[in-house]
Structures are given as structure tokens and as C-alpha cells.
Amino acid sequence: MEIYDHIVVGAGSSGCVVASRLSEDPQVRVLLIEAGGAMDAFWVNTPAGMAKLFGSERFNWRFKTQPVPTLGGRQVQWDRGKGLGGSSSINGMIYMRGQPEDYDQWARLGNAGWGWDEVLPYFKRSENNARGANAFHGGDGPLSVTDPVEIHPAAEDFIASCVNAGIPRSRDLNSPPHPAVGVRQYTIKGGRRHTTYKAFIEPVRHRSNLTILTGAHVLRVLFDGDEATGVEVLQGGQRRQIAAAREVILSAGALASPQLLMLSGIGGAARLQRHGIAVRRELPGVGSNLQDPWYASLAWRCTPGSSVNHRLSGLRKYLEGARYVFTHGGYLALGAAPVTAYARSEPGARVDLQLSFNPMSFSATPSGEVAADGYPGMSASVVLLTPESRGHMELASGDPLAAPLFHPNYFSDESDVRRHVAGLRQLRQIIHTPPLGQRVVEEIKPGPACASDEQLFEYLKRFGGTGWHPVGTCKMGSDGEAVVDARLRVRGLQRLRVIDASIMPVIPTGNTNAPCIMIGEKGVDMILEDALAPRAIAA
């Protein structure tokens, strides 16, 4: 039997960090297992290529939710990265941590050590920020964090309009206070996407104590009593068992880590027994507490100098492509919308809206591809960052290769409806506030006829979509729904941890890639501090 000290399942935003840091000790043998393969392709590396990856079977798991009753039975595609780097290889590359209050709330929920002051050093440790090191940022970490290569004048006007609407300008959206508006930063290096694989694993692949296994599906965690002893994998049609002398770490993400726990007999007893799975540890919270923000985009026809659509359509798009190939610059070197505002949906409430602006607009072509509109257009979006609605996921069957069933339960809490509609109204107001308002010709999506709360909610349901940040399905805490404790150990079991987005008790008010990297950094320190002695394993 193959034997390693630590087995890390999932080479995504947290797993790459965990495997890299653990393997810094040459005496520790680390195995990193990934179901997908390499993700070194042009549209993966090109920041603006993310739209090309939505339909990719090679790089995207392309999960589908179950029909959502609150959306009139719609099914929503959930995009998840399929390969080395995980979702950091297909995301918008936005480096946003959320607010200090998010992490202080985690600590108040019974998770000692997870307050803002305690997690900030882990954000800084991973970061190589182009602006340099300071009280809030690191300057010598492996992950490149950079500013947009271009800021269009219309994007600057969006910032000015937000200021005129009462949202203060910030020079650093990753430091307090909020609300604020400013320029985003991205995980981009030299005009190319900088995934967690490229940052944390690729530079250390030569380590003799680090093994990377791709194209390998972990079928279940193996146990001896309450102690995790390894994993069973399927690779190339062959099953085999691999032993862990110290710990098994699940970093497969908020959709796959709870699935693996369930397949291993850990979860709600009734749900497991329904699929013929023997219960090893009853933890009813496995798969519960599912949170995902909802997103909706609006679009306007604007004056010609206010949009870059002309650079991304017709023959000019080939010139823009050539510019990127030879210089790694231009609009193909940009991540998702370069400017954003964090705002309150209601006076006195905490910041709960992310309002983002792009000096371009897109529509689906008859073939289903997304392309820049043929007229000068700009777009903006609203994300409700703090959904109160909670969903769950469950096994479809006992087959480890079958995708789980996802029930996101969007808009099941009335406050989500009220606050998101308020966000749409606030965004419209900002867009029509000078100086940006002077660039607007007419609203295209949803159009001025969509005016009442009921009409705006209908637009949200029909044309909105996932915010791409599902979290919370292996909640950290001490209550009856908690799956892991504050040291990320699966409750009631030994030598088994979960280190990824699934452990978040409440979703941060930002994007989730940076927090996942932080969780990986902090999780490794916990593993090292606990320093479990190796199990004796017969070779």
C-alpha cells in the first residue's frame, strides 16, 4: 500500500495552499489528489477568457442545481473548476476578502481564533501585492495580487458617481472601512491568470516529498474505528487504497467535500441509509447551511466614447487578441469588472451589496456564446452579499461518480427579495448620477418599463444567476449543525479535517477565493501545531 503522512483531497484554492505548505518540511510526505487534470490552456491563462470556460466540459464541472421552486422551477448552472487550481482557474480572479466584521462574526459564533485580527496575518502571508507590503497586505508571498492594466474613463466616472451618491472612495477595498467604492485587485501576474496551482504548487513540484495525482477520483475516506486511515481512489478504471499516517484533509470544495463525507458514512443518518450507506458518524449538518449569493446584471446603451464594445467585436477583436498575445496587455488582460462599490441596501444595515461596473456589454449569440454587443454599451451588476436564504445538498445515489443534488433555496427568505430589489434601484440611481449619467443613452436591460418591485423581482428570478460562491456545507462551529470544530477537525472523528469554503459558517461580504486561500494557510498552521504522531502502518 502507498503511504503518505498527509493526503490532501482537491487541488483547488485551499488544497494547493495546504499541500504546498505541508511539503515545506522535507521529512513529511504529502499526496495531493485531483480529479481533473492540467489546466494550462490559452483561455484559462487569459484573464478575459473566463466567459469561454462556462461551457467547457474539460475545465468545468458544470453542475446543475435541482429545479428551484422560488425561481419558477429554473435550474441554475454552478461552475466549478475541474483540474489543478480548481475554481481559481476559471473564476473572475477578483481578490476581495470581505469585511473585518465577517470574521469577527465567525468568532462570535463560537470559533475561537477566527476573528479579523487573527486571520489577517494569513491573508498577508500568501500575498505578493503589487502595491507593496503594509499593515493590511503582504509583499513577499507566492500569490500575485495586481491592479487592472487599464481603467476606462467611464469606470472612473462610475467611481465619481458613487461618491456623488454618498459612497466614499477607497484606495484599498481590502481594508476598512466600508461602504466604499474603488478599483479592484486581481490574482493576475504578467497579464496571465495566477491560479493557486501556479502560485503554490508549480514552483515546488520538484520536491521529492510532494506527489501530485491527477485524474483520480476519491471514492471515500477509509477508517479504523473513528480514525481516518486513508482514502480509496479510482484512477484509470482501477481502484486502490492509499494510507495516511498522520491526517486526511478534504479540500475538495463546498460541493465535493460534504459529498465525500456522506459517501464515507458521515452525515444525517436517514439520508445516508436511504442510499445504503452505513452510518459511521451522525452529523446532520453535513450538506446543510448552503449559501450562495444571487447576481443580476443590467445594461445600457451609451455614448460611443463610453464603451469598449467596438474593441471586442468585428475585426477589431482580432487586433485586441494580437495585442494580448504579443504584450499580455489590453482588455484581454483584465479580470471581471475593474471597479466596484460596497453599499448598504437599507439605511443603518451592514454593507450587503456589491455593485460592479464594466464599460462593455454582452449578449448571448444564437449559438449560445457570449459576445460583445454591436453597439456602444456598458453594464453593471448587483450581488446580494449576505443572503439569509439557506439551502442544502444531498447524495443522488451511493455512486461516488454521480453528481450530488443541490437545493440552493434562493429567495426563500423575504429579506433577500427586499434587499436585492433595493440594490437594483440603488444601482440605477448611481448610473444616472453625474458624471456617469451623462454617458447614458437608454437602459437596455431590463429597460425602463421594469419599474415596480414585482417587476424587478421577476427580472431577478428570470435573468439573474449564481454569484459563483457556494459555501457553508461543512460548517465550522460547536452547535448541533456544525461539522468541524474551530480547528477544522471533523467532529467526533480523528485525523480528518476539512479545509475549504465549506467550513465557512457565514459567507464573507466579498468574493471567496481570497478567504479560501486564507483558510488553507490557517488550516496548515493548525495541522502543524497539533503535530499528530504518525500511525504505525504495515507496509
Share of the chain above pLDDT 90, in %: 89
- Can you state the percent helix, strand and coil of the chain, rounding each to 5? 30, 25, 45
507 and 480 within one domain: yes
With beta carbons less than 8 A apart as the criterion, state whether 159 and 182 touch: yes
Which of these three, 438, 468, 498, is where a domain ends? 468
Write the pLDDT tens digit of every residue in 103-116. Answer: 999 999 999 999 99
Instruction: Give the pLDDT confidence score for residue 37 in this predicted structure.
Output: 97
CATH of residue 330: 3.30.560.10
With beta carbons less than 8 A apart as the criterion, state whether 102 and 506 touch: yes
Q: Is the pLDDT of residue 368 over 70?
A: no
Q: Is the pLDDT of residue 362 over 90?
A: no
CA-based nearest residue to 518, from 134, 248, 113, 188: 113
Which of these three, 468, 485, 520, is where a domain ends? 468
Between CA 375 and CA 225 the distance in angstroms is 65
320 and 297 within one domain: yes
129 and 153 within one domain: no
Per-residue 3-state assignment (H helix, E strand, C coil) for 434-473: CCHHHHEEEEEECCCCCCCHHHHHHHHHHHCEECCCCECC
**Which whole number is the average pLDDT over 128-140?**
97
Instruction: Give the pLDDT confidence score for residue 539 in this predicted structure.
Output: 64
- Altogether, the residues listed in the chain come to a count of 539
Residue 17 within a domain: yes
Q: Which amino acid is at 257?
A: S
Write the pLDDT tens digit of every residue in 41-90. Answer: 999 999 988 888 988 999 999 999 999 999 999 999 999 999 999 999 99
CATH of residue 265: 3.50.50.60
Output the DSSP codes for 212-253.
Answer: EE-SEEEEEEEEETTEEEEEEEEETTEEEEEEEEEEEEE-S-
Q: CA geometry: angle at 99 spanning 93 and 102, to 5°?
A: 110
319 and 211 within one domain: no
Between CA 376 and CA 359 the distance in angstroms is 9
Residue 188 within a domain: no
Q: Is the pLDDT of residue 315 over 80?
A: no
**Residue-averaged pLDDT of the chain:** 95
Q: Is the pLDDT of residue 336 over 90?
A: no
Residues designated as active site = 469
Q: CA geometry: angle at 354 spanning 351 and 357, to 5°?
A: 145
Q: CA geometry: angle at 271 spanning 267 and 272, to 5°?
A: 65
Backbone angles phi, psi at 219, to 5 degrees: -90, -35
Between CA 40 and CA 214 the distance in angstroms is 14
pTM of the model: 0.97
Residues in CB range of 60: below 8 A, 6 or more apart: 53, 54, 79, 80, 81, 82, 90
Instruction: Give the pLDDT confidence score for residue 1 in this predicted structure.
Output: 81
Residue 451 within a domain: yes
Write the pLDDT tens digit of every residue in 247-279. Answer: 999 999 999 999 999 999 999 999 999 999 999
Instruction: Give the pLDDT confidence score for residue 371 in this predicted structure.
Output: 81
Q: Annotated binding residue at 181?
A: no
323 and 379 within one domain: yes
325 and 224 within one domain: no
> 337: which 3 cell numbers?
469588472
Backbone φ/ψ region at 531: left (φ over 0), alpha (ψ -120 to 50), beta: left
137 and 71 within one domain: no
506 and 361 within one domain: no
Write the pLDDT tens digit of every residue in 406-435. Answer: 999 999 999 999 999 999 999 999 999 999
Q: Is the pLDDT of residue 366 over 80?
A: no
* Range with the poorest average pLDDT among 159-173, 288-302, 308-322, 482-496: 308-322
With beta carbons less than 8 A apart as the criterion, state whether 358 and 372 touch: no
Instruction: Give the pLDDT confidence score for residue 114 in this predicted structure.
Output: 98
**Which whole number is the average pLDDT over 274-297?**
97
381 and 262 within one domain: no
245 and 120 within one domain: yes
**Which whole number is the average pLDDT over 37-41?**
95
Residue 11 within a domain: yes
- Residue 386 lies in domain: 40-78+149-183+292-468
Q: Annotated binding residue at 469?
A: yes
220 and 172 within one domain: no
With beta carbons less than 8 A apart as the criterion, state whether 519 and 487 touch: no
Backbone φ/ψ region at 62: left (φ over 0), alpha (ψ -120 to 50), beta: left
With beta carbons less than 8 A apart as the criterion, state whether 150 and 330 touch: yes
Provide the domain count of the chain. 2
**Which whole number is the average pLDDT over 301-311?**
92
Output the DSSP codes for 75-114.
Answer: --EE--B-BTTGGGGTS--B-----HHHHHHHHHTT-TT-
Residue 28 within a domain: yes
Q: Annotated binding residue at 218?
A: yes
Surface-to-core class of residue 450, CB atoms within 10 Å of its CB (0-12 exposed, 13-18 middle, 19+ buried): middle
206 and 343 within one domain: no
Between CA 299 and CA 301 the distance in angstroms is 7
Residues in CB range of 538: below 8 A, 6 or more apart: none
With beta carbons less than 8 A apart as the criterion, state whether 493 and 227 touch: yes
Share of the chain above pLDDT 70, in %: 99
Instruction: Give the pLDDT confidence score for residue 536 in this predicted structure.
Output: 86
Which of these three, 468, 496, 519, is where a domain ends? 468
> 139: which 3 cell numbers?
509583499
**Which whole number is the average pLDDT over 117-131?**
98
